[in-house]
Structure 1
Amino acid sequence: MCAGKETPNMSCYHGASKPVYVDEELLQEAVLEQGLQDQAERIAKEEGIHYNDALRLSLEYRNIRRIDHLWEFTSLTKLNLNNNFIKKIEGLNHLVNLTWLNLSFNNIEKIEGLEGLQKLEVLKLSNNRISFIENMDNLVELTILCLANNLLHQLNNVVYLRRFKKLFTLNIEGNPIPEESCEDNYLIFIAAYFQQLKFLNNIFLNEDIRNRASIKYNLDIEEMNQGELQRQQAVEESRKQEAELQRHEDAFVEQLNGSHLYNNIFQNDTEADKLHCLPGVDELLEGFEKHITDLCNQLFEVGLAEHKRREAEITLFFQKNEADVTRHQRKAFNLLTDFEKQHKQRIKELQELTDAKERKSQVENCLKEINLLCYNLMTVEFQLYGHMEETIRKFDNNISEMTSSFSETAQGIYPLHCRELEDSHHKNIQQIANTTVEMVAKGESEDELPDDVRMLFLDKNTVTDTLAASHDNHVQTINDRETQLVTRAEAWKVALIKGIEDTELRRNRMRIADIHRYADYLRGQLEKLQ
């Protein structure tokens, strides 16, 4: 047993072995030991190991101290790291397809580093030094959790796990949780608070246990359920609002549904605030706000409608793209199937030949067939790539037309009319201001105006300059929102097309490399038979 450790830890029994770290050599050894799906070990050694193809990786009993170098294992579904010297959970966020993780029998003190594992179903953390359950919110698919023989000492902390609605099996035995803390065996407590749980510490929670739990904790559970329901409703409402705001941003019309623009126009216009006390100004501002808001709402609705059109076009493109790739892949598959059937027969005949001349002739024939296969596969791939280029070009034209049309519509509805409204509003304010200047000069409004407003209207030129600066700022705010809308729409279109083109280019290069690699592998087979 480890000194100072309250629970057993198998890493203590490794003897005096020197701790190691996960590195390239260790990973290659582990992957080759376990084998790669659909690849022989010899091919893996000759052509290099494709970590992103590995589905399972077992690294137990290797004296590992730190988790590292796993970022390429993006397809990994099962990872075994039990019985090592690991102190910290880290380096796992790239394993987005992981469903099974075993970190039992290590020296882990804190649950962390699991944020990216949203598909994780099984988590084994038994025989560590964990004292608190936390940082697991993203594990929404969790069904089995093992935390036996750790340092958990608060039964209420276990209630944290209620958020995992799919949790089926929980093991927390061997932890220093005092049973007297809940006046009964915590089996009843857990059965009450985890109504979906089937097994606790390998004990089936039968109907009798459920009934006893329901009687004992009925009021507590009802209160907790109500609180959780309210919190869940609040979270769902927040998510809906976030999703709606994201939809507005994707349509480039965020904060155009309402009086946001009007508020932005006057946000920093301190001089305009002084005009509210002038006769008729409040009515002008109310009318100005209404007209600006109506225009913004009109553009907002147009933006959402255009966004829906673009989304439909994008969906149609990717559906067609997938169908085209599938069709060409089927052609290539048929070519490979026919070739492999005949190639196996040719290899069999070649192995049976004893005459050197005949063997040489048969090898040359096999090489010709391999070259023909390579040519035919390349032809299919180039046909697909050329077809995809044309499809992307048409899609680019369609999206560009939609984006340009939206930008032109927006410029017609929003900035042009908004500027006209601002010009009209400015002229009306000028008339009121000029009248006020004359009244102040005659001393007719001394009792009606605050001192700071009256001081502003003592000089006509000052008033004219102040109103002109205010008008320029208003127009600039309108122009800036127009520029933001148009430039973001164009940048989105450019990024979308570039992303599609880059993805297709990578697919094409990978396919060509695969064809050459397979042909080289076949030629290597023949060389060994000569």
Structure 2
Amino acid sequence: MLDPCKEREPRVITNALIEKCIDLQYPKGEVGRLLRLEGIPMEEVKEIRFEHLYILKIDHLWVLRSLVKLSLNSNLIEKIEGLETLIHLKELDLSFNKIQKIENLETLTNLEKISFYENLIETIDNLDNQQKMTVFSIGKNKIDDHSNVNYFRKFKALTSLNMAENPCSEEEYFRYYVAAFLPNLVYYEYKRIDEKERGKGSELFRDELRTLERKEEKERIENEQIEKEAQDAKSHSKMFVEHLQTGKLFDIMYTNDEEGKTLLELGEEVRELHAEYKNQFVEHCKEVFDIGEKHYYERQTELDNFTRSSENAKLENQLESIGHIENFLENKNAMFKNIKNLQQQLDHDVIDEDQFMAAMVDRRQDFEQMIHKTWKNLMELELQIFEQIEEVNQTIERVLSEMLNTFKEEVQAVFTNIRAAEVAYSENLNEAGIQFLTNMATMTDVEEIPKELKEMVYDRDSLNNAIVATHDVHMQAIDSREDLLNLRCKAWIEDLVDRMKNEEIHRNRYKLLEINHFLDIQQEEFNEITSLPEQIVRDEDEL
């Protein structure tokens, strides 16, 4: 007999508990008994309930990988965890627990119904991936800010929401707020929202709603821009010049260049020099981008031509192979027809067994010659196309390597200009710094000089060290970007060549297997059709 006190102890989900809950779900009576005998593998279970079991920690649920509905309500769960493998889950019930935060649901993108009723949640978040969610219940929690409602504006499929008995839901007109700010919502607290409620809510919260809509529109534009930049970067990465059409490389140089930022405080003249330097730098980067774009399309055109040439060669080779196969099949059909005629003649005593056997020996020799000739022709064609493709691939490698070298040489020339611009700026900065030191010696009020600048340029050595430091940071950023471009070029051509070689090796091996398999089948058919009639076999056995 089970100990009632022990049953109420906090527990973790184990395989034994899972098996017990599965067993409880079987129907009663004979049907249930038969189902238990047959058993349901854990990986096939679609629905399970762990209710009123004093569960403290979710665990071991990875064995239920086909689960669609999961109920964990009325337990002692404090943290959402251990659910990431349940990617088919559509319904999740975590009501009546001790959960304080919504988390670890990112992989559950098929969730449609979720309930966190009566927990300790204060903020609604971390549900961005649940775009299929239609029903969400988070009543009787600790949500006190009514703006949490706005989080649900991104869920276009959401039709039913329950936030009853939260502190924010006790506010006057809260239902009208929900109606106004969630225009796609159909039910709130399981009661349909009518148009009057929506209209009144829009009137009551007009200003707040307009402010939110303006903010969302701004965020939408910003997100579209970010997405476009990401797509552009992905596209431009094939050209090896991503982000070089903008001033991003220049900005990267100054990200960790505190000396360079501080030296801009030397005065208006330095800021003008900096602005001019930036314009030159960005223009040179755009030159690199234009070169990259031009050479990318040239490479693609060349690669497309080679690909077309290879495909045409393969097609011609295939057609010739088909011609040999059709010729073989035509001769085979004629031979099989002749063999059947001989078998009929034997059956009708037109020829005797010796004549039939002698004819079969001749036919076997002819068929073996046909098989060998076809095998030889097909193998010669395959060897021919293999050598052709190998030669084409070598040519592609050579041509594209030469094109990449030309591209890198043109880019190198522009990077030389970028470095020259950096050197010129550094020299101008040094002159401006010396002039600043000279002027500072005669200044009566040095308090106007920023503290960081004063500490950096208190004498010529410190000034020189600061300028050298900023120059080194810039040169390192420029060198790193050029090195990255060269490394990406090298990796691309190596990957392309390896892929083409592997694809051709795979194609060749498959073709050889295909040829041999085809001819093996033909040989089996011949053996079958030329097998001795049963009567001859019996007569020979008797002898």
The residue aligned with 1:231 is 216
Please give the secondary structure, in 2, of the residue aligned with 1:256: helix
Aligned to 2:360: none
Equivalent position of 1:503 in the other structure: 496
Specify the alignment match of 1:97 in structure 2.
none
Q: In structure 2, what residue type is equivalent to 1:394?
A: E
* TM superposition shift of 1:489: 1.4
Q: CA RMSD in A?
A: 5.7
CA-CA distance at 1:379 after TM superposition: 3.6
Q: What are the Cα deviations for residues 378-428 of structure 1, in whole angstroms up to 9, with x where unaligned?
A: 24422431232133213212321222111111122222x123213322442
The one-letter code of the counterpart of 1:163 is K
Q: 1:112 to 1:448 in 2, by over 3 A?
A: closer
Matched, 1:163 2:154: yes
Gaps of 5+ in 1: 21-58, 69-79, 93-100, 118-122, 201-207, 274-281, 437-444, 458-462
Distance 1:523 1:243, change over 3 A: same
Rg comparison, structure with higher value: 2
2:357 is equivalent to residue 366 of structure 1: no
C-alpha distance in 1 between matches for 2:298 and 2:283: 23
- Using a 3 Å threshold, how does the CA distance of structure 1 residues 359 and 259 change in structure 2: closer, same or farther? closer
Q: Deviations over 1:54-106 (max 9, x none)?
A: xxxxx8879995389xxxxxxxxxxx9466999956469xxxxxxxx854589
Mark the CA change 1:347 to 1:9 in structure 2 (over 3 Å): closer, same or farther.
Answer: farther
5 Å-filtered alignment, 1:108-147, equals 124-125=110-111, 135=126, 137=128, 145=132
Cα distance change on mapping 1:252 and 1:481 into 2, 3 Å: farther
Deviation at 1:303, TM superposition (A): 1.4
Task: Give yes or no for contact 2:179–2:201 (8 Å, CA) kept in 1.
Answer: no
State the match for 2:56 in structure 1: none
**2:153–2:181 Cα contact (<8 Å) kept:** no
In the alignment, which residue of structure 2 is the partner of 1:329? Answer: 311
Encode CA deviations 1:339-390: one digit per residue, 9 max, x unaligned: 3575367458647745322332232233224313422432442243123213
Give the Cα–Cα distance (whole angstroms) in 1 for the partners of residues 63 and 503 of structure 2.
30
CA contact (8 A) 1:85 1:107 kept: yes
1:509 positional shift: 0.7
Residue 474 of structure 1 pairs with residue 467 of structure 2: yes
* Rounded Cα–Cα distance in structure 2 between residues aligned with 1:529 and 1:388: 39
Alignment equivalent of 1:288, drawn from 257, 270, 278: 270
User: Where does residue 411 of structure 1 map in the other structure?
Assistant: 419
Give me the whole-angstrom Cα distance separating, in 2, the residues matched to 1:523 and 1:108.
61
Residues 1:324 and 1:108: Cα distance change in structure 2 (over 3 Å): farther
* Identical aligned residues as a percent: 13
CA spacing shift, 1:218–1:336, aligned 2, 3 Å: farther
Q: Give, in whole Å, the separation in 2 of the partners of 1:474 and 1:83.
A: 64
Aligned to 1:375: 383
2:114–2:133 CA contact under 8 A, matched in 1:
no
Which deviations, in whole Å up to 9, do the C-alpha atoms of 1:293-331 show, x marking residues without a partner?
312222222212332331332244234424532442244
- Pairwise CA distance, 1:474: 1.0
How far is 1:429 from its partner?
4.0
Contact residue 151 and residue 176 of structure 1 kept, 8 A:
yes
Q: 1:111-143 CA distances to partner (integer Å, 9 max, x unpaired)?
A: 96657x9xxxxx75468878799756468xx7x
Could you tell me how far apart the structure 1 residues matched to 2:115 and 2:330 are?
59
The Cα of 1:502 is off from its aligned counterpart by: 0.8
**1:66 partner SS:** helix
Aligned to 2:510, what secondary structure does the other structure show?
Answer: helix
Q: Distance in 2 between matches of 1:214 and 1:178?
A: 18
Offset at residue 505 of structure 1 (A): 1.5
Kindly state the Cα deviation for residue 448 of structure 1 after the two structures are TM-superposed: 5.7
Cα separation, 2, equivalents of 1:192 and 1:349: 79
In structure 2, the partner of 1:44 is: none
1:66 to 33, 45, 62: 62
How much does 1:512 deviate?
1.9
**1:514 counterpart (507, 515, 526):** 507
Structure 2 letter corresponding to 1:496: C
* Whole-angstrom distance in 2 between the partners of 1:298 and 1:520: 61
Preserved contact between residue 325 and residue 384 of structure 1 (Cα < 8 Å): no
- 1:304 is the counterpart of 2:260: no
Aligned counterparts of 1:346 and 1:219: Cα–Cα separation in 2:
85
Partner of 2:9: none
- Which amino acid in structure 1 is aligned with residue 372 of structure 2? E
1:146-177 per-position Cα deviation (integer Å, ceiling 9, x unaligned): 767x9776999897564356x5xx787xx988
The 1:472–1:152 alpha-carbon spacing in structure 2 relative to 1, beyond 3 Å, is closer
Q: Are the structure 2 counterparts of residues 305 and 193 from structure 1 closer, same or farther at C-alpha, using a change threshold of 3 Å? A: same
Alignment check: 8 A CA contact 2:291 2:411 kept: no
Over 3 Å counting, the alpha-carbon distance change for 1:193 and 1:266 in structure 2 is closer
Q: TM-score, normalised by structure 1?
A: 0.57
Deviations 1:193-223 (A, max 9, x none): 455x9x99xxxxxxx9996786565548976
**Partners of 1:474 and 1:495 in 2: how far apart?**
32
